[in-house]
Chain A
Amino acid sequence: MVSIKVEKLTKSFGDFTAVNDVSFSIGKGEVFGLLGPNGAGKTTTISMLATLLPATSGKAEIEGKSITSDQDGVRKSIGIVFQDQSLDDELTAYENMDLHGRLYRMEGKLRKERALELLKLVELEGRKDDLVKTFSGGMRRRLEIARGLLHRPKVLFLDEPTLGLDPQTRNKLWEYIAQLNEAQKITVILTTHYMEEADRLCNRIAIIDRGKIIAVGTPSELKEGIGGDVITVKSENPEGVYARLSKEKWVKRIEKHDGSVTVNLANAEKHIAGMVKMLDGLEISTLSVHKPTLEDVFLHFTGRTIREEEAGAKEEMRMRHRVWSRG
Chain B
Amino acid sequence: MDIVYTIWLRSIKRYLRSKSRIIGSLGMPLFFLVIMGFGLNSVVEVPEGGDYVGFIMPGIIAMSILFTSIFSGIQIIWDKQFGFLKETLVAPVSRVEIMLGQTVGGATTSLIQGGLMLLLAFVLGLNLIGLTGLGIAITFMVLIGLAFTAFGVAIASKMEDMHGFQLIMNFVIFPIFGLSGALFPLSGLPEWARPITYLDPLTYGVEGIRYGLSGASHIDPLLCFLALGGFTVATILVGTHFFRKIKI
Residues on A close to B: CB < 8 A? Answer: 50-52, 72, 75-76, 78, 80, 82, 84-91, 95, 99-100, 102-105, 147, 325
Contact = CB atoms under 8 A, between A and B. Distances in A.
B14 A75 contact: no
A303 B140 CA distance: 68
Closest 6 CB pairs of A and B: A86-B83, A75-B92, A103-B91, A102-B6, A86-B87, A72-B92
9 contacts: A50-B90, A76-B92, A87-B87, A88-B84, A102-B2, A102-B6, A103-B88, A105-B2, A105-B92
Contact of B13 (A52, A82, A91): A91
Given A51-B90, A52-B248, A75-B91, A103 B13 contact: no
B158 interface: no
Q: Which of B9, B18, B88, B91 has the most CB of A within 10 A?
A: B91
Given A90-B18, A95-B13, A104 B92 contact: yes
Interface range, B side: 20 to 34
A14 to B, nearest CB: 14
A153 to B, nearest CB: 11
Contact of A99 (B6, B85, B248): B6
B247 to A, nearest CB: 8
Contacts, number: 62
Contacts of B3: 102-103, 105
B196 to A, nearest CB: 39
Contacts of A52: 86, 89-90, 248
Q: Which of B84, B86, B92 has the most CB of A within 10 A?
A: B92
B1 to A, nearest CB: 11
B192 interface: no
Contacts of B17: 90
Contacts of B2: 102, 105
A177 B89 CA distance: 24
B193 interface: no
Contacts of B5: 102
Contact of B10 (A51, A80, A99): A99
A290 to B, nearest CB: 39
B119 interface: no
Contact of A87 (B9, B83, B89, B248): B83
Contacts of B23: none
B91 A88 contact: no
B222 interface: no
A52 to B, nearest CB: 6
A85 B83 contact: yes
Given A103-B3, A105-B2, A91 B83 contact: no
Contacts of A88: 10, 14, 84, 87
B123 interface: no
Contact of B93 (A80, A103, A325): A103
Contacts of A86: 83-87
B97 to A, nearest CB: 10
A51 B92 CA distance: 10
A288 B65 CA distance: 69
B122 interface: no
B13 to A, nearest CB: 6
Given A50-B90, A52-B90, A102-B6, A89 B13 contact: no
Given A103-B6, A325-B82, A90 B90 contact: no
Contacts of A325: 82
Nearest to A90: B14
A50 B91 CA distance: 10
Contacts of A84: 83
A256 B3 CA distance: 59
B86 to A, nearest CB: 5
